[in-house]
């Protein structure tokens, strides 16, 4: 099978960085057509810079990185420096990128790329707020036909929320954008907190990254060390959840994950529950399923895959 063509839409973010590294380390399964940066964990100038730092870390200065939307569709930007640090990529000391940003806006890149590819052949992989993707869908609805699938990190059902008691960060930051994407009619695979909170970077897993004894292995160990300090304190768990790499791991080994096809609606009205992913997990409505909402992960299999692939960079 030829590799799957993907666009990674991202707000790096240490876990975004690991997701990108996993994709770039897996050319047999994944062809990265480009990376589009969006404002999220930190403002756009930093996410666009961090995406290039990660490409350079992987030795892939050929990957095109575009800057996209600098704020949500209808709201002020909410960021997460309290988790990711001031730069968004705190932890390792990595050089400023030498590679320039690609010319043009990320939204136009998404539109032009989808139009240039056959219908149903490009997978979108959003790892941050859905502003770029929703803007592209609104500006050029014809491109939706060219999407094969949307595999995203966002939302929660049993775990409910991380940025508010009822909302996960990526959906909360731009709920109107999420609403557009979930109503797009395309197949969606959701990696919610229910899954990612089981993908914990425990000490032995972090040691395995470090034991690679490579630039990439050390950087990933230091990145995950950094955001552990926040998550361990918050959840009292054995390690921090590695959210976004669940998306790229799914493209390589989907059998590591299981879930249910359910209806998912996004709360955009209530102040109290803004950004909640209302997933009909128990099938109590007659709303048509619009997403494969994951619930379980083979965490050992996931970390084995990740470590093996990082060793290739
Ligand atoms: C999501 O929010 C960000 O902080 C992470 O990068 C991840 O995409 C988890 O809620
Ligand atoms: Ca992210």
pLDDT band, residue 136 (cuts 50/70/90) = very high
Evaluate if residue 86 carries a pLDDT over 90.
Answer: yes
Q: Choose one of 8, 14, 15, 294 to mutate for the ligand 1 pocket test, by most ligand atoms within 8 angstroms of C-beta.
A: 15
- Please work out whether the CB of residue 41 comes within 6 Å of at least one atom of ligand 1: yes
The mean pLDDT of 282-309, rounded to a whole number, is: 98
How many angstroms does the Cα of residue 11 sit away from the middle of ligand 1?
A: 8
Residue 233 has pLDDT above 90, yes or no: no
pLDDT at 154: 98
The pLDDT of residue 231: 72
Task: Name the band, by pLDDT with cuts 50, 70 and 90, for residue 230.
Answer: confident
Least confidently predicted of 60-74, 201-215, 216-230, 276-290: 216-230
pLDDT at 236 over 80: no
Q: Reduce the DSSP state of residue 58 to 3 states and report it.
A: coil
Distance CA 79, CA 23 (A): 25
Would the CB of 9 count as within 6 Å of ligand 1? no
pLDDT tens digits for range 178-198: 999 999 999 999 999 999 999
Secondary structure class of 50 (helix, strand, coil): helix
**Ligand 1 midpoint to CA 84 (Å):** 9
Question: DSSP code of 2?
Answer: P
Rounded Cα gap, residues 75 and 312, in angstroms = 41
Please tell me the distance from the alpha carbon of residue 98 to that of residue 174, in angstroms, as a whole number: 31
Nearest-10 crossing angle of helices 44-57, 14-24: 40
Answer yes or no: is pLDDT of 228 > 80. Answer: no
255 Cα–ligand 1 center, Å: 23
- Cβ pair 127, 19 in contact under 8 A: yes
In this structure, whether the domain defined by 4-310 belongs to CATH 3.90.245.10 is answered with: yes
Query: Half-sphere exposure of 71 toward its Cβ, with a 13 Å CA cutoff?
Result: 4
Q: Cα–Cα distance between 158 and 167 in angstroms, integer? A: 11
Dihedral sign from CA coordinates of 19, 129, 41, 275: negative
pTM value surpassing 0.95: yes
- Asked whether residue 172 carries a pLDDT value surpassing 80, the answer given is yes
Residues 10-44 have pLDDT tens digits of 999 999 999 999 999 999 999 999 999 999 999 99
pLDDT digits (tens, 9 = 90+) for 204-223: 999 999 999 999 999 999 99
CB of 170 closer than 6 angstroms to any ligand 1 atom: yes
- Rounding to the nearest 10 degrees, give the CA dihedral for residues 232, 234, 240, 241: 160
Predicted confidence (pLDDT) at residue 312 exceeds the cutoff of 80: yes
Percent of all residues in the chain with a pLDDT value above 70, rounded to a whole number = 100
Tell me the mean pLDDT in the region 88-114.
Answer: 98
Q: What are phi and psi of 105, to 5 degrees?
A: -90, 145
Q: Which residues of 242-267 are buried (b: 16+ CB within 10 A; e: fewer)?
A: bbbbbbbbbbbeeebbebbebbbbbb
**Residue pLDDT, tens place only, 110-134:** 999 999 999 999 999 999 999 999 9
- pLDDT, residue 36, reads 99
Answer whether 83 contacts ligand 1 (Cβ < 6 A). yes
């Amino acid at each position: 099978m030829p590799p799957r063509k993907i666009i990674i839409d991202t707000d790096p973010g240490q876990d975004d960085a690991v997701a990108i590294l996993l994709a770039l380390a897996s050319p047999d399964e994944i062809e990265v057509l480009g990376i589009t940066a969006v404002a999220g964990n930190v403002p756009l100038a930093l996410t666009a810079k961090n995406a290039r730092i990660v490409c350079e870390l992987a030795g892939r200065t050929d990957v095109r990185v575009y800057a996209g939307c600098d704020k949500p569709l209808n709201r002020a930007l909410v960021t997460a420096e309290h988790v990711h640090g001031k730069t968004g990529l705190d932890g390792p000391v990595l050089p400023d990128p030498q590679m320039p940003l690609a010319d043009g806006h990320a939204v136009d890149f998404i539109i032009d790329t989808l139009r240039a590819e056959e219908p149903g052949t490009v997978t979108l992989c959003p790892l941050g707020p859905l502003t770029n993707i929703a803007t592209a869908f609104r500006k050029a609805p014809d491109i939706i036909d060219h999407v094969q699938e949307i595999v995203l990190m966002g939302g929660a059902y049993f775990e409910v929320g991380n940025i508010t008691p009822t909302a996960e960060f990526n959906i909360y930051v731009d709920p109107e954008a999420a609403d557009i994407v979930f109503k797009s009619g395309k197949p969606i695979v959701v990696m919610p907190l229910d899954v990612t909170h089981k993908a914990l970077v425990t000490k032995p897993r972090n040691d395995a990254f470090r034991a690679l004894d490579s630039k990439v292995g050390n950087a990933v160990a230091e990145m995950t060390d950094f955001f552990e300090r926040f998550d361990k304190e918050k959840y009292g768990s054995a390690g921090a959840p590695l959210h976004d790499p669940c998306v790229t791991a799914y493209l390589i080994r989907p059998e590591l994950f299981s879930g249910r096809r359910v209806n998912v609606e996004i709360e955009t009205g209530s102040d109290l529950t803004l950004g909640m992913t209302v997933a009909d997990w128990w099938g109590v409505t007659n709303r048509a399923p619009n997403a494969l909402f994951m619930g379980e992960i083979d965490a050992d299999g996931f970390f084995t895959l990740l470590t093996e692939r990082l060793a290739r960079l």
